[in-house]
Structure 1
Amino acid sequence: MLKDLFGKRKRYASIPSEQAKADVPEGLMQKCSGCHKIYYRKEMNKNLQVCPNCDYHHPLQAWHRIDTLFDEASFQEWDEQLTTGNPLNFPGYEEKLKKDQAKTGLREAVVTGKGTIEGKETAFAVMDSTFRMGSMGSVIGEKIARAIERAKEEGIPFIIFTASGGARMQEGLLSLMQMAKTSIAVKRFSDAGGLMISVMTHPTTGGVSASFASIGDYNLAEPGALIGFAGRRIVEQTIREKLPDDFQTAEFQLKHGQLDKVVHRSDMKNTLALLLSFHQKGGKES
Protein backbone atom coordinates (compact mmCIF):
# COMPACT_ATOMS: atom_id res chain seq x y z
CA MET A 1 0.00 0.00 0.00
CA LEU A 2 2.83 2.38 0.89
CA LYS A 3 4.49 1.42 -2.36
CA ASP A 4 1.37 2.29 -4.28
CA LEU A 5 1.03 5.57 -2.41
CA PHE A 6 4.60 6.68 -3.07
CA GLY A 7 4.34 5.37 -6.59
CA LYS A 8 1.40 7.69 -7.21
CA ARG A 9 3.29 10.60 -5.74
CA LYS A 10 6.24 9.81 -7.98
CA ARG A 11 4.06 9.61 -11.07
CA TYR A 12 2.39 12.92 -10.15
CA ALA A 13 5.74 14.62 -9.62
CA SER A 14 6.90 13.53 -13.02
CA ILE A 15 4.14 15.40 -14.83
CA PRO A 16 5.85 18.01 -17.05
CA SER A 17 5.58 21.58 -15.77
CA GLU A 18 4.13 22.67 -19.12
CA GLN A 19 1.20 20.28 -18.66
CA ALA A 20 0.66 21.50 -15.09
CA LYS A 21 0.58 25.07 -16.35
CA ALA A 22 -1.95 24.08 -19.00
CA ASP A 23 -4.35 22.94 -16.25
CA VAL A 24 -4.48 26.53 -14.92
CA PRO A 25 -6.75 28.84 -16.96
CA GLU A 26 -4.75 31.51 -18.77
CA GLY A 27 -4.82 34.88 -17.03
CA LEU A 28 -6.08 33.50 -13.71
CA MET A 29 -2.81 33.98 -11.83
CA GLN A 30 -0.26 36.80 -11.75
CA LYS A 31 3.33 36.82 -10.49
CA CYS A 32 4.60 39.91 -8.67
CA SER A 33 7.54 41.51 -10.48
CA GLY A 34 8.97 42.59 -7.13
CA CYS A 35 8.88 39.59 -4.75
CA HIS A 36 7.83 36.96 -7.35
CA LYS A 37 4.92 35.68 -5.26
CA ILE A 38 1.89 34.47 -7.17
CA TYR A 39 -1.61 35.85 -6.64
CA TYR A 40 -5.02 35.57 -8.22
CA ARG A 41 -5.29 38.31 -10.82
CA LYS A 42 -8.67 39.37 -9.40
CA GLU A 43 -7.01 39.89 -6.01
CA MET A 44 -4.33 42.08 -7.57
CA ASN A 45 -6.91 44.11 -9.48
CA LYS A 46 -8.86 44.75 -6.28
CA ASN A 47 -5.61 45.93 -4.71
CA LEU A 48 -5.04 48.37 -7.62
CA GLN A 49 -2.22 46.19 -8.99
CA VAL A 50 -0.14 46.75 -5.86
CA CYS A 51 1.49 43.64 -4.36
CA PRO A 52 0.06 42.86 -0.89
CA ASN A 53 3.40 41.42 0.17
CA CYS A 54 6.15 43.79 -1.08
CA ASP A 55 4.04 46.83 -2.12
CA TYR A 56 5.43 46.77 -5.66
CA HIS A 57 3.34 49.03 -7.91
CA HIS A 58 2.65 47.19 -11.18
CA PRO A 59 1.63 49.16 -14.28
CA LEU A 60 -2.05 50.07 -14.25
CA GLN A 61 -3.94 50.13 -17.53
CA ALA A 62 -5.47 53.47 -18.47
CA TRP A 63 -9.14 52.52 -18.05
CA HIS A 64 -8.48 50.75 -14.76
CA ARG A 65 -6.80 53.89 -13.43
CA ILE A 66 -9.64 56.10 -14.65
CA ASP A 67 -12.20 53.85 -12.93
CA THR A 68 -10.31 54.02 -9.63
CA LEU A 69 -9.94 57.82 -9.66
CA PHE A 70 -13.04 59.43 -11.10
CA ASP A 71 -16.53 59.58 -9.69
CA GLU A 72 -18.92 57.11 -11.26
CA ALA A 73 -20.58 58.26 -14.49
CA SER A 74 -18.62 61.54 -14.45
CA PHE A 75 -16.12 60.62 -17.16
CA GLN A 76 -16.25 62.15 -20.64
CA GLU A 77 -13.60 61.08 -23.18
CA TRP A 78 -12.05 63.55 -25.62
CA ASP A 79 -10.60 62.97 -29.09
CA GLU A 80 -11.15 59.23 -28.96
CA GLN A 81 -11.32 59.15 -32.78
CA LEU A 82 -7.66 60.17 -33.26
CA THR A 83 -5.50 57.32 -34.52
CA THR A 84 -1.90 57.05 -35.61
CA GLY A 85 -0.87 56.72 -39.25
CA ASN A 86 2.51 55.82 -40.67
CA PRO A 87 3.91 59.17 -41.86
CA LEU A 88 7.42 57.85 -42.51
CA ASN A 89 6.28 54.54 -44.05
CA PHE A 90 8.24 52.69 -41.38
CA PRO A 91 8.21 48.94 -42.18
CA GLY A 92 5.81 46.95 -40.00
CA TYR A 93 4.65 49.96 -37.96
CA GLU A 94 0.97 49.72 -38.92
CA GLU A 95 0.88 46.02 -38.06
CA LYS A 96 2.40 46.70 -34.63
CA LEU A 97 -0.18 49.42 -33.96
CA LYS A 98 -3.05 47.11 -34.89
CA LYS A 99 -1.64 44.39 -32.65
CA ASP A 100 -1.47 46.75 -29.65
CA GLN A 101 -4.94 48.12 -30.39
CA ALA A 102 -6.35 44.59 -30.31
CA LYS A 103 -4.39 43.70 -27.16
CA THR A 104 -5.27 46.79 -25.12
CA GLY A 105 -8.59 47.97 -26.55
CA LEU A 106 -7.05 51.44 -26.95
CA ARG A 107 -6.56 53.47 -30.12
CA GLU A 108 -3.35 54.99 -28.74
CA ALA A 109 -1.23 55.01 -25.58
CA VAL A 110 -3.14 57.86 -23.94
CA VAL A 111 -6.75 58.51 -22.94
CA THR A 112 -7.86 62.11 -22.43
CA GLY A 113 -11.06 63.67 -21.17
CA LYS A 114 -12.64 65.23 -18.12
CA GLY A 115 -14.44 64.05 -15.03
CA THR A 116 -14.88 64.73 -11.34
CA ILE A 117 -12.81 63.56 -8.38
CA GLU A 118 -14.94 63.74 -5.25
CA GLY A 119 -17.12 66.28 -7.04
CA LYS A 120 -14.23 68.44 -8.28
CA GLU A 121 -14.12 68.79 -12.06
CA THR A 122 -10.81 68.35 -13.86
CA ALA A 123 -9.43 67.55 -17.29
CA PHE A 124 -6.90 64.75 -17.52
CA ALA A 125 -4.67 62.53 -19.62
CA VAL A 126 -3.75 58.98 -18.64
CA MET A 127 -0.90 57.23 -20.46
CA ASP A 128 -0.76 53.45 -20.79
CA SER A 129 2.60 51.66 -20.99
CA THR A 130 1.01 48.47 -22.36
CA PHE A 131 0.52 50.22 -25.73
CA ARG A 132 3.87 50.58 -27.53
CA MET A 133 5.48 51.03 -24.09
CA GLY A 134 3.71 54.40 -23.85
CA SER A 135 6.11 55.78 -26.44
CA MET A 136 5.30 59.34 -27.52
CA GLY A 137 4.15 59.68 -31.10
CA SER A 138 2.40 62.54 -32.88
CA VAL A 139 -1.10 61.47 -31.82
CA ILE A 140 -0.11 61.28 -28.14
CA GLY A 141 1.33 64.79 -28.31
CA GLU A 142 -1.72 66.06 -30.16
CA LYS A 143 -4.21 64.53 -27.70
CA ILE A 144 -2.34 65.87 -24.67
CA ALA A 145 -1.96 69.36 -26.19
CA ARG A 146 -5.65 69.45 -27.09
CA ALA A 147 -6.65 68.34 -23.59
CA ILE A 148 -4.55 71.10 -22.02
CA GLU A 149 -5.97 73.71 -24.39
CA ARG A 150 -9.52 72.57 -23.68
CA ALA A 151 -8.87 72.70 -19.93
CA LYS A 152 -7.76 76.30 -20.43
CA GLU A 153 -10.90 77.13 -22.39
CA GLU A 154 -13.18 75.56 -19.76
CA GLY A 155 -11.25 77.03 -16.82
CA ILE A 156 -10.63 73.68 -15.11
CA PRO A 157 -7.44 72.02 -13.78
CA PHE A 158 -5.47 69.44 -15.73
CA ILE A 159 -4.05 66.19 -14.31
CA ILE A 160 -1.74 63.90 -16.25
CA PHE A 161 -0.53 60.39 -15.39
CA THR A 162 2.64 59.68 -17.35
CA ALA A 163 4.04 56.27 -18.31
CA SER A 164 6.44 56.10 -21.22
CA GLY A 165 9.61 54.60 -22.57
CA GLY A 166 10.32 57.84 -24.45
CA ALA A 167 9.97 58.99 -28.06
CA ARG A 168 8.55 56.66 -30.71
CA MET A 169 11.34 55.91 -33.14
CA GLN A 170 8.97 54.92 -35.97
CA GLU A 171 7.90 58.59 -36.22
CA GLY A 172 11.35 60.18 -36.04
CA LEU A 173 11.36 63.98 -35.73
CA LEU A 174 7.56 64.07 -35.67
CA SER A 175 7.78 62.34 -32.30
CA LEU A 176 10.44 64.71 -30.94
CA MET A 177 8.35 67.72 -32.01
CA GLN A 178 5.72 66.70 -29.46
CA MET A 179 8.06 67.72 -26.64
CA ALA A 180 7.90 71.36 -27.75
CA LYS A 181 4.20 71.27 -28.64
CA THR A 182 3.07 69.91 -25.28
CA SER A 183 5.43 72.14 -23.30
CA ILE A 184 4.12 75.24 -25.06
CA ALA A 185 0.55 74.15 -24.32
CA VAL A 186 1.45 73.80 -20.64
CA LYS A 187 3.07 77.28 -20.62
CA ARG A 188 -0.02 78.91 -22.13
CA PHE A 189 -2.21 77.05 -19.66
CA SER A 190 -0.05 78.22 -16.76
CA ASP A 191 -0.02 81.83 -18.02
CA ALA A 192 -3.82 81.72 -18.04
CA GLY A 193 -3.82 80.72 -14.37
CA GLY A 194 -4.44 77.00 -14.91
CA LEU A 195 -3.48 74.31 -12.40
CA MET A 196 -1.54 71.28 -13.66
CA ILE A 197 -0.80 68.22 -11.56
CA SER A 198 1.66 65.70 -12.99
CA VAL A 199 1.80 62.15 -11.61
CA MET A 200 4.76 60.14 -12.86
CA THR A 201 4.32 56.36 -12.88
CA HIS A 202 6.67 53.54 -13.80
CA PRO A 203 8.38 54.18 -16.15
CA THR A 204 8.52 57.86 -17.13
CA THR A 205 11.60 58.29 -19.28
CA GLY A 206 13.08 59.94 -22.36
CA GLY A 207 11.32 62.84 -24.08
CA VAL A 208 8.23 62.53 -21.88
CA SER A 209 10.24 63.05 -18.68
CA ALA A 210 12.07 65.96 -20.34
CA SER A 211 8.90 67.78 -21.38
CA PHE A 212 5.34 67.84 -20.03
CA ALA A 213 5.84 65.21 -17.30
CA SER A 214 8.13 67.35 -15.16
CA ILE A 215 6.63 70.84 -15.46
CA GLY A 216 3.46 70.58 -13.41
CA ASP A 217 2.56 72.95 -10.59
CA TYR A 218 2.65 69.79 -8.48
CA ASN A 219 4.95 66.94 -9.51
CA LEU A 220 4.00 63.67 -7.84
CA ALA A 221 5.04 60.07 -8.41
CA GLU A 222 4.10 56.55 -7.41
CA PRO A 223 6.50 54.57 -5.19
CA GLY A 224 9.42 52.97 -6.98
CA ALA A 225 8.67 54.60 -10.33
CA LEU A 226 11.62 54.88 -12.71
CA ILE A 227 11.95 58.56 -13.70
CA GLY A 228 14.76 59.88 -15.87
CA PHE A 229 15.95 60.84 -19.32
CA ALA A 230 18.87 58.62 -20.34
CA GLY A 231 19.23 55.09 -19.01
CA ARG A 232 21.38 54.23 -16.01
CA ARG A 233 24.07 52.49 -18.08
CA ILE A 234 24.41 55.44 -20.47
CA VAL A 235 24.77 57.90 -17.58
CA GLU A 236 27.39 55.74 -15.85
CA GLN A 237 29.40 55.39 -19.05
CA THR A 238 29.21 59.14 -19.66
CA ILE A 239 30.27 60.34 -16.20
CA ARG A 240 32.50 57.29 -15.53
CA GLU A 241 31.08 56.85 -12.06
CA LYS A 242 29.02 54.19 -10.29
CA LEU A 243 25.55 55.50 -9.49
CA PRO A 244 23.56 54.81 -6.28
CA ASP A 245 21.29 51.74 -6.31
CA ASP A 246 18.18 53.91 -6.05
CA PHE A 247 19.24 56.25 -8.87
CA GLN A 248 16.29 57.55 -10.94
CA THR A 249 13.68 56.08 -8.61
CA ALA A 250 10.82 58.26 -7.38
CA GLU A 251 12.35 58.23 -3.90
CA PHE A 252 15.72 59.40 -5.26
CA GLN A 253 14.02 62.21 -7.21
CA LEU A 254 12.10 63.31 -4.11
CA LYS A 255 15.27 63.37 -2.03
CA HIS A 256 16.97 65.61 -4.62
CA GLY A 257 14.11 68.07 -5.00
CA GLN A 258 12.70 66.91 -8.33
CA LEU A 259 9.34 65.83 -6.87
CA ASP A 260 6.91 67.31 -4.40
CA LYS A 261 5.64 64.01 -3.03
CA VAL A 262 5.66 60.24 -3.56
CA VAL A 263 2.07 59.04 -3.23
CA HIS A 264 0.93 55.46 -2.71
CA ARG A 265 -1.66 54.36 -5.26
CA SER A 266 -4.24 53.73 -2.54
CA ASP A 267 -3.87 57.37 -1.39
CA MET A 268 -3.84 58.92 -4.86
CA LYS A 269 -7.51 59.83 -5.19
CA ASN A 270 -7.64 61.53 -1.78
CA THR A 271 -4.39 63.39 -2.49
CA LEU A 272 -5.63 64.70 -5.83
CA ALA A 273 -8.99 65.69 -4.35
CA LEU A 274 -7.20 67.62 -1.60
CA LEU A 275 -4.96 69.47 -4.07
CA LEU A 276 -7.94 70.33 -6.26
CA SER A 277 -9.83 71.65 -3.24
CA PHE A 278 -6.96 74.01 -2.41
CA HIS A 279 -7.29 75.69 -5.78
CA GLN A 280 -11.00 75.78 -6.38
CA LYS A 281 -12.94 78.91 -5.58
CA GLY A 282 -13.80 78.88 -1.89
CA GLY A 283 -11.57 75.86 -1.32
CA LYS A 284 -9.50 74.95 1.72
CA GLU A 285 -6.53 76.99 2.83
CA SER A 286 -3.17 75.19 2.56
Structure 2
Amino acid sequence: MVDRTTTIALQKRPVPDGVWGLCPGCNATVYKREAERLQNVCPKCDYHFYVPAKTRIEQVLDAGTFQEWDQELRPTDPLGFSDKKRYADRLTDEQKRTGLTDASLTGCGMIRARRVAIGVTDSAFIMGSMGSVVGERLARLVERATAQNLPLIIISGSGGGARMHEGILSLMQMAKVSAALSRYSEAGGLYISVLTNPTMGGVAASFASLGDLVFAEPRALIGFAGPRTIKATIKIELPPGFQTSEFLLEHGYIDRIVHRNRLKNEIARAIDYCGK
Protein backbone atom coordinates (compact mmCIF):
# COMPACT_ATOMS: atom_id res chain seq x y z
CA MET A 1 0.00 0.00 0.00
CA VAL A 2 1.36 3.45 -1.01
CA ASP A 3 1.69 6.04 1.71
CA ARG A 4 -0.59 9.01 0.92
CA THR A 5 2.24 11.40 1.78
CA THR A 6 4.44 9.94 -0.93
CA THR A 7 4.90 12.30 -3.87
CA ILE A 8 5.12 10.61 -7.21
CA ALA A 9 7.40 12.68 -9.48
CA LEU A 10 6.29 12.90 -13.07
CA GLN A 11 9.14 12.80 -15.52
CA LYS A 12 9.04 15.67 -17.96
CA ARG A 13 9.67 14.52 -21.50
CA PRO A 14 12.38 16.65 -23.16
CA VAL A 15 11.55 18.45 -26.41
CA PRO A 16 13.68 17.02 -29.25
CA ASP A 17 16.22 19.35 -30.83
CA GLY A 18 15.24 21.06 -34.08
CA VAL A 19 11.47 21.11 -33.47
CA TRP A 20 11.17 24.83 -32.66
CA GLY A 21 13.06 27.84 -33.95
CA LEU A 22 13.22 31.59 -33.34
CA CYS A 23 12.02 33.85 -36.16
CA PRO A 24 14.46 36.76 -36.82
CA GLY A 25 11.57 38.81 -38.20
CA CYS A 26 9.22 38.83 -35.20
CA ASN A 27 11.19 36.96 -32.48
CA ALA A 28 8.35 34.47 -32.17
CA THR A 29 8.96 30.79 -31.45
CA VAL A 30 8.00 28.95 -34.62
CA TYR A 31 7.16 25.28 -35.11
CA LYS A 32 9.62 24.33 -37.83
CA ARG A 33 7.37 21.84 -39.61
CA GLU A 34 4.71 24.52 -39.99
CA ALA A 35 7.28 26.92 -41.48
CA GLU A 36 8.51 24.17 -43.85
CA ARG A 37 4.93 23.53 -44.96
CA LEU A 38 4.80 27.22 -45.94
CA GLN A 39 8.05 26.92 -47.97
CA ASN A 40 10.19 28.04 -45.03
CA VAL A 41 8.18 31.17 -44.32
CA CYS A 42 7.23 32.31 -40.80
CA PRO A 43 3.50 31.65 -40.22
CA LYS A 44 3.28 34.68 -37.92
CA CYS A 45 5.06 37.50 -39.79
CA ASP A 46 5.87 36.14 -43.29
CA TYR A 47 9.64 36.33 -42.70
CA HIS A 48 11.41 34.32 -45.43
CA PHE A 49 13.92 31.92 -43.86
CA TYR A 50 17.07 30.68 -45.61
CA VAL A 51 16.42 27.91 -48.13
CA PRO A 52 19.16 25.57 -49.47
CA ALA A 53 19.82 25.56 -53.22
CA LYS A 54 18.37 22.08 -53.72
CA THR A 55 15.16 23.07 -51.92
CA ARG A 56 14.90 26.22 -54.07
CA ILE A 57 15.04 24.01 -57.15
CA GLU A 58 12.25 21.82 -55.75
CA GLN A 59 10.10 24.87 -54.93
CA VAL A 60 10.41 26.49 -58.36
CA LEU A 61 10.59 23.62 -60.86
CA ASP A 62 8.00 20.98 -61.69
CA ALA A 63 8.68 17.83 -59.70
CA GLY A 64 11.25 15.47 -61.16
CA THR A 65 12.23 17.68 -64.12
CA PHE A 66 15.59 19.09 -62.93
CA GLN A 67 18.69 17.97 -64.80
CA GLU A 68 21.93 19.26 -63.27
CA TRP A 69 24.66 20.65 -65.50
CA ASP A 70 28.42 20.78 -64.88
CA GLN A 71 28.31 18.94 -61.56
CA GLU A 72 31.74 17.52 -62.39
CA LEU A 73 33.39 20.94 -61.93
CA ARG A 74 35.22 21.12 -58.60
CA PRO A 75 36.99 24.06 -56.90
CA THR A 76 40.74 23.96 -56.33
CA ASP A 77 43.23 26.09 -54.39
CA PRO A 78 45.29 27.81 -57.11
CA LEU A 79 46.92 30.31 -54.73
CA GLY A 80 47.64 27.96 -51.83
CA PHE A 81 45.60 30.41 -49.74
CA SER A 82 45.47 30.20 -45.96
CA ASP A 83 43.86 32.38 -43.28
CA LYS A 84 42.59 30.71 -40.10
CA LYS A 85 42.70 27.46 -42.05
CA ARG A 86 43.93 26.31 -45.45
CA TYR A 87 41.48 27.08 -48.26
CA ALA A 88 41.71 23.47 -49.47
CA ASP A 89 40.61 22.29 -46.01
CA ARG A 90 37.85 24.89 -45.90
CA LEU A 91 36.48 23.63 -49.22
CA THR A 92 36.44 20.04 -47.95
CA ASP A 93 34.69 21.06 -44.73
CA GLU A 94 32.07 23.12 -46.58
CA GLN A 95 31.37 20.27 -49.01
CA LYS A 96 30.80 17.84 -46.14
CA ARG A 97 28.64 20.30 -44.20
CA THR A 98 26.38 21.45 -47.06
CA GLY A 99 26.35 18.48 -49.43
CA LEU A 100 27.28 20.88 -52.25
CA THR A 101 30.50 20.87 -54.27
CA ASP A 102 30.45 24.69 -54.46
CA ALA A 103 28.09 27.62 -53.92
CA SER A 104 26.08 27.25 -57.14
CA LEU A 105 23.73 24.69 -58.64
CA THR A 106 22.82 24.92 -62.33
CA GLY A 107 20.80 22.96 -64.85
CA CYS A 108 17.51 22.88 -66.71
CA GLY A 109 13.95 21.86 -65.90
CA MET A 110 10.30 22.73 -66.37
CA ILE A 111 8.22 25.49 -64.79
CA ARG A 112 4.53 24.86 -65.43
CA ALA A 113 5.59 22.74 -68.45
CA ARG A 114 7.89 25.49 -69.80
CA ARG A 115 11.51 24.41 -70.21
CA VAL A 116 13.99 26.83 -68.60
CA ALA A 117 17.67 27.11 -67.71
CA ILE A 118 18.08 27.75 -63.99
CA GLY A 119 20.90 28.59 -61.58
CA VAL A 120 20.86 29.04 -57.80
CA THR A 121 23.58 30.35 -55.49
CA ASP A 122 23.64 29.21 -51.87
CA SER A 123 24.84 31.38 -48.99
CA ALA A 124 25.54 28.33 -46.82
CA PHE A 125 28.71 27.58 -48.83
CA ILE A 126 31.30 30.23 -47.89
CA MET A 127 28.46 32.80 -47.90
CA GLY A 128 27.65 32.04 -51.55
CA SER A 129 30.81 33.82 -52.67
CA MET A 130 31.72 33.58 -56.35
CA GLY A 131 34.84 31.56 -57.01
CA SER A 132 36.04 30.10 -60.29
CA VAL A 133 33.62 27.16 -60.28
CA VAL A 134 30.59 29.32 -59.42
CA GLY A 135 31.44 31.73 -62.24
CA GLU A 136 32.19 28.96 -64.73
CA ARG A 137 28.95 27.13 -63.97
CA LEU A 138 26.91 30.32 -64.35
CA ALA A 139 28.69 31.32 -67.57
CA ARG A 140 28.09 27.86 -69.07
CA LEU A 141 24.46 28.04 -67.92
CA VAL A 142 23.98 31.32 -69.78
CA GLU A 143 25.75 29.98 -72.88
CA ARG A 144 23.54 26.88 -72.99
CA ALA A 145 20.43 29.02 -72.51
CA THR A 146 21.61 31.11 -75.48
CA ALA A 147 22.32 28.09 -77.68
CA GLN A 148 19.04 26.35 -76.80
CA ASN A 149 16.92 29.54 -76.78
CA LEU A 150 15.74 28.95 -73.22
CA PRO A 151 14.38 31.45 -70.69
CA LEU A 152 17.00 31.96 -67.98
CA ILE A 153 16.34 32.17 -64.24
CA ILE A 154 19.08 32.83 -61.68
CA ILE A 155 18.11 32.87 -57.99
CA SER A 156 20.79 34.68 -56.01
CA GLY A 157 21.44 33.96 -52.34
CA SER A 158 24.99 35.25 -51.87
CA GLY A 159 26.10 37.24 -48.87
CA GLY A 160 29.64 37.33 -50.24
CA GLY A 161 30.94 38.74 -53.50
CA ALA A 162 34.10 37.57 -55.20
CA ARG A 163 35.82 34.84 -53.16
CA MET A 164 39.03 36.36 -51.77
CA HIS A 165 40.63 32.92 -51.43
CA GLU A 166 41.01 32.80 -55.24
CA GLY A 167 42.13 36.39 -55.84
CA ILE A 168 41.84 37.78 -59.39
CA LEU A 169 40.60 34.39 -60.64
CA SER A 170 37.49 35.05 -58.59
CA LEU A 171 37.12 38.73 -59.53
CA MET A 172 37.16 37.94 -63.25
CA GLN A 173 34.03 35.79 -62.87
CA MET A 174 31.92 38.93 -62.48
CA ALA A 175 32.98 40.15 -65.93
CA LYS A 176 32.81 36.68 -67.49
CA VAL A 177 29.23 36.01 -66.41
CA SER A 178 28.15 39.56 -67.30
CA ALA A 179 29.66 39.21 -70.79
CA ALA A 180 27.81 35.93 -71.30
CA LEU A 181 24.58 37.66 -70.25
CA SER A 182 25.24 40.46 -72.77
CA ARG A 183 25.52 37.90 -75.57
CA TYR A 184 22.37 36.19 -74.31
CA SER A 185 20.49 39.50 -74.38
CA GLU A 186 21.70 40.24 -77.91
CA ALA A 187 20.31 36.85 -78.97
CA GLY A 188 16.88 37.88 -77.63
CA GLY A 189 16.84 35.81 -74.44
CA LEU A 190 14.67 36.48 -71.40
CA TYR A 191 16.61 36.66 -68.13
CA ILE A 192 14.69 36.71 -64.84
CA SER A 193 16.85 37.49 -61.81
CA VAL A 194 15.47 36.62 -58.37
CA LEU A 195 17.15 38.29 -55.38
CA THR A 196 16.89 36.64 -51.97
CA ASN A 197 18.27 37.40 -48.53
CA PRO A 198 21.15 38.17 -48.75
CA THR A 199 22.31 39.29 -52.22
CA MET A 200 25.44 41.33 -51.67
CA GLY A 201 28.91 42.25 -52.94
CA GLY A 202 30.13 41.25 -56.39
CA VAL A 203 27.06 39.11 -57.05
CA ALA A 204 24.77 42.14 -56.58
CA ALA A 205 27.22 44.25 -58.61
CA SER A 206 27.16 41.89 -61.59
CA PHE A 207 24.75 39.21 -62.83
CA ALA A 208 22.11 39.62 -60.09
CA SER A 209 21.37 43.19 -61.22
CA LEU A 210 21.27 42.51 -64.97
CA GLY A 211 17.90 40.78 -65.33
CA ASP A 212 15.32 41.85 -67.89
CA LEU A 213 13.01 41.35 -64.92
CA VAL A 214 14.33 41.59 -61.37
CA PHE A 215 12.19 39.99 -58.67
CA ALA A 216 13.02 39.99 -54.96
CA GLU A 217 11.69 38.23 -51.90
CA PRO A 218 10.19 40.39 -49.13
CA ARG A 219 12.63 42.09 -46.74
CA ALA A 220 15.70 40.71 -48.52
CA LEU A 221 19.02 42.50 -47.90
CA ILE A 222 20.39 43.63 -51.27
CA GLY A 223 23.40 45.82 -51.97
CA PHE A 224 27.16 46.00 -52.38
CA ALA A 225 28.69 46.89 -49.02
CA GLY A 226 26.54 46.16 -45.97
CA PRO A 227 24.65 48.95 -44.17
CA ARG A 228 26.92 48.82 -41.11
CA THR A 229 30.01 49.24 -43.30
CA ILE A 230 28.46 52.17 -45.19
CA LYS A 231 27.33 53.89 -42.00
CA ALA A 232 30.76 53.51 -40.42
CA THR A 233 32.44 54.89 -43.56
CA ILE A 234 30.32 57.93 -44.39
CA LYS A 235 29.32 58.72 -40.77
CA ILE A 236 25.66 59.51 -41.46
CA GLU A 237 22.40 57.89 -40.42
CA LEU A 238 20.95 55.71 -43.17
CA PRO A 239 17.27 55.88 -44.22
CA PRO A 240 14.84 53.40 -42.61
CA GLY A 241 14.78 50.07 -44.45
CA PHE A 242 17.96 50.93 -46.37
CA GLN A 243 19.02 48.11 -48.75
CA THR A 244 15.87 46.08 -48.20
CA SER A 245 13.89 44.91 -51.22
CA GLU A 246 11.05 47.28 -50.24
CA PHE A 247 13.43 50.27 -50.23
CA LEU A 248 14.89 49.23 -53.58
CA LEU A 249 11.47 48.75 -55.17
CA GLU A 250 10.52 52.27 -54.10
CA HIS A 251 13.69 53.61 -55.75
CA GLY A 252 13.34 51.65 -58.99
CA TYR A 253 16.17 49.15 -58.51
CA ILE A 254 13.93 46.08 -58.72
CA ASP A 255 10.72 45.40 -60.62
CA ARG A 256 8.60 43.44 -58.17
CA ILE A 257 8.56 41.89 -54.71
CA VAL A 258 7.27 38.34 -54.93
CA HIS A 259 6.29 36.14 -52.00
CA ARG A 260 7.98 32.74 -52.12
CA ASN A 261 4.71 30.86 -52.51
CA ARG A 262 3.88 32.86 -55.65
CA LEU A 263 7.32 32.81 -57.27
CA LYS A 264 6.76 29.80 -59.52
CA ASN A 265 3.52 31.22 -60.91
CA GLU A 266 5.01 34.70 -61.38
CA ILE A 267 7.96 33.32 -63.35
CA ALA A 268 5.63 31.25 -65.55
CA ARG A 269 3.43 34.32 -66.18
CA ALA A 270 6.44 36.45 -67.09
CA ILE A 271 7.68 33.83 -69.57
CA ASP A 272 4.25 33.68 -71.20
CA TYR A 273 3.87 37.45 -71.26
CA CYS A 274 7.25 37.88 -72.95
CA GLY A 275 6.42 35.19 -75.49
CA LYS A 276 9.27 32.84 -74.57
CA, structure 1 residues 63+240, in 2 after alignment: closer, same or farther (shift >3 Å)?
same
The one-character-per-residue Cα deviations of 1:173-216 (angstroms, maximum 9, x if unpaired) are: 11111110011010000001011000000000000000000010
The one-letter amino acid of 2:172's match is M
1:96 paired residue number: 90
Offset of residue 2 of structure 1:
12
Q: Which residue is 1:122 aligned to?
A: 116
Give the deviation of 1:68 after TM superposition: 1.2
Q: Is residue 173 from structure 1 mapped to residue 164 from structure 2 by the alignment? A: no
Secondary structure of 2:214's partner? strand
For residue 260 of structure 1, what is the aligned residue in structure 2?
255
Q: Which runs of 5+ in 2 are unaligned?
A: none
> Does the 8 A contact of 1:145 with 1:182 survive in 2?
yes
Any gaps of 5 or more consecutive residues in structure 1?
Answer: 13-19, 282-286
CA distance in 1, matches of 2:35, 2:74: 31
Deviations 1:9-41 (A, max 9, x none): 9x98xxxxxxx9xx4333333222222323333
Structure 2 residue aligned with 1:220: 215
Matched, 1:276 2:271: yes
- 2:131 is the alignment partner of 1:137: yes
CA distance in 2: counterparts of 1:58 and 1:203, whole angstroms? 11
1:128-154 superposed Cα distances (whole Å, 9 cap, x missing partner): 111111111111000000000000000
TM-score with structure 2 setting the length: 0.92
* Cα distance in 2 for residues equivalent to 1:235 and 1:279: 38
What is the TM-score normalised by the length of structure 1?
0.89
Query: Deviation at 1:94?
Result: 1.6
In terms of fraction of residues, the more helix-rich structure is 1
Q: Which residue of 2 aligns with 1:77?
A: 68
Count of residue pairs the alignment pairs up: 270
Contact 1:123 1:159 in 2 (8 A): yes
The root-mean-square deviation of aligned C-alpha atoms, in Å, is 2.1
Which of 180, 192, 200 is equivalent to 2:187? Answer: 192
Amino acid at match of 2:27: H
Of residues 231, 243, 249, the one that matches 1:236 is: 231
Instruction: Report the CA distance between 1:85 and its aligned residue.
Output: 0.4
d(CA) in 1 for partners of 2:148 and 2:58? 23
Q: Is 1:120–1:277's contact at 8 Å kept on the other side of the alignment?
A: no
Distance 1:171 1:8, change over 3 A: same
With 42-51 and 185-194 compared, the bigger mean Cα shift is at: 42-51
The alignment-based identity, stated in percent, is 49
